[in-house]
Amino acid sequence: PVLQNQIAAGEVVERPANVAKELIENSLDAGATRIEINLENGGQGLIQVQDNGHGLAAEDIPLALTRHATSKIQGIEDLVRIASLGFRGEALPSIASVSRLSFASAPAGVEAGHEVEVAFGEMASEGPVALQTGTRIQVRDLFSNTPARLKFLKTQATETRRCQETVFKIALAHLDKEFTLSIQGRNQLHLVKHQALPQRLAAVWPQQVIDGLLPLQGERHGLQVEGVIGSPRTAQGRAQRIHFFINGRPVQDKILLKALREGYKGALLSKEYPQAVLFLTLPLEEVDINVHPAKSEVRFRDERSVAGLVCTTVRNALEKCDP
């Protein structure tokens, strides 16, 4: 099973940012309202995610670290209608097979927390630990047993930046929750709860961009889109500040990117990209987000109507501001 998990790890986990994403999504699944992320050495040294969620009972921790132990699928219907963020039950066992992983948790009402440590897929130790209600996952020495994976990583600065982007992207879809990110023990990002979207964006985006943001909202045949887009005046040469979410999940999608730029038609140069944070809501049967285990790719049942709605909504928002 260790080897099997290492193979799965290659699909789910390519780099520290993927680990951070899986851990943060688990915290959200656990109902956390406060999530703290700590990174050391580009995530190779340490990726720690601590939350105030509902925790996991001591006897269930080893199960969570075993392949396909997901507690989130009750029946075949759930496979079709994926409601919670995680559903595959392979993230933790995969990560644990290529790192030293500690899972410490304290459900509400227990006297002490419980910690289980796994080293490269093998159970290493287990015992009580002092912890507030919630869960703390620590991942150390990522890929140190898989040299091929290790070689694939970029510089620590680059991997750190990718982790930062991942944290920020997820935080955009969870404005009601608090996120903190520390790097080498120093606070890098602190997003308080109940922020409005522009306020949260202002933690990372330049004020000039924030000042030009236009709100947008559109709906057609059960598809909805809402969010903010940047003024054509602040367009940039890279598709850097563009975030799409489908039913709350971050996705990357060429069709959406094309539709967004199409909505600006005439207002952008051929190599320019606007800023955008767009949240799409569509019936679950209209979209397949399970194309890739890292879950950031999508396939639409009817991509033309999705693209059409995005393009029209963007165009309407721009016309309203500049008649």
Q: Is 115 in the site for ligand ADP (CB under 6 A)?
A: no
Site for Mg ion (CB under 5 A): which residue of 6, 26, 52, 164? 26
- In terms of CB distance, is 49 or 153 closer to ligand ADP? 49
- Min dist CB 87 to ligand ADP, Å, is 5
Among 92, 118, 167, 183, binds ligand ADP (CB under 6 A): 92
Out of Mg ion, ligand ADP, none, which partner does residue 163 contact, by CB within 5 to 8 A per kind?
Answer: none
Residue labelled with tokens 């563009």: 242
Among 55, 227, 232, 263, the residue binding ligand ADP under the rule CB under 6 A is 55
For strands 100-106 and 113-119, give the pairing: antiparallel
Residues 69-108 that bind Mg ion (CB under 5 A): 86, 91
> Rule CB under 6 A: is residue 52 a binding residue for ligand ADP?
no
- Candidates 6, 26, 160, 164: give the one binding ligand ADP (CB under 6 A): 26
Taking the complex as a whole, the smallest distance from the CB of residue 299 to ligand ADP amounts, in Å, to 20
- Does 22 contact ligand ADP by CB under 6 A? yes
- Part in contact with ligand ADP (CB under 6 A); list of ranges 1-9, 21-29, 122-130, 306-314: 21-29
Cβ proximity to ligand ADP: between 170 and 209 the closer is 170
> Does residue number 71 form part of the binding site for ligand ADP (CB under 6 A)?
yes
Which residues sit at the interface with ligand ADP, rule CB under 6 A?
22, 26-27, 29-30, 51, 53, 55-56, 64, 69-72, 86-92, 135
